[in-house]
Structure 1
Amino acid sequence: MEKLSEIVLKNGVYVYSNLYKCFEYTRVFLGV
């Protein structure tokens, strides 16, 4: 159970960082 939540947490951080990067790129691209 501990390992499962660890995997979910790592995946969540990975997805979040990717979304954040996309958001930053979009912001720079639009010049906001």
Structure 2
Amino acid sequence: MSHTIVVIRHIRLRKLNCTIKQAEVWHTMEA
């Protein structure tokens, strides 16, 4: 198993979590 693949996957997951958190913040600001 390549270490780079794991790192890329981890970074993508973190970016996804950041986007979701940002979306939640936008929702609370709108409400």
Q: TM-score normalized by structure 2?
A: 0.78
Q: Unmatched 5+ residue regions in structure 2? A: none
CA-based RMSD: 0.5
Q: TM-score normalized by structure 1?
A: 0.76
Q: Unmatched 5+ residue regions in structure 1? A: 28-32
- Map of 1:11 onto structure 2: 15
**Runs in 1 of length 4+ with deviation above 4 angstroms?**
none
Identity of aligned pairs, percent?
Answer: 7
